[in-house]
Amino acid sequence: KVILTDLPEIIPILEKNIQSNCKALKGSVSAAVLKWGEVDTKFLVPDLILVSDCVYYDMSVEKLIPTLEELAGSHTEILISYEDRELGNKRELLKGFLNKLRSSFEIDIIPQSEQHPDYQSPDIHLLKCTKK
């Protein structure tokens, strides 16, 4: 079972994408609202959490990590991808995010040599995290 999450205003777009791709999908896929910092107990402990390009503004750092702590179980694997960003305080923001993430999670950097050659880029980074 796959649950795609986002803010309420994005759910119709997710649902449209699910409908558009339903013939290619295997298993169950649904969309649900997830506001960081407001975890609903309706979510079961997932095997995998994918976090893609979500570390780009201050509020994401403040609310994303507690949300991951709440959602993840001892067996949950979290894959986080992020892009190098040069504007404003983005480097400091990323550094702060990673430092806070390390307090609750073991972090392994997935080197480009272990990533699919068609889907990698020098400015996109991939981390695998598990709860400490």
pLDDT, tens digit (0-9, with 9 covering 90-100), for 6-36: 999 999 999 999 999 988 888 899 999 998 8
Q: Give CA separation, 124 vs 64, 83, 109, 118, 127, in Å.
A: 19, 4, 12, 13, 10
> What pTM value is reported for the model?
0.86
Domains of the chain, earliest start first? 1-33 (no CATH), 36-131 (3.40.50.150)
| pLDDT score for 88 | 67
What's the chain's average pLDDT?
89
pLDDT, tens digit (0-9, with 9 covering 90-100), for 76-110: 999 999 888 776 677 888 888 899 999 999 999 99
Burial class for 100, CB neighbours closer than 10 Å (0-12, 13-18, 19+) = middle
Rounded CA separation 104/131 (Å)? 6
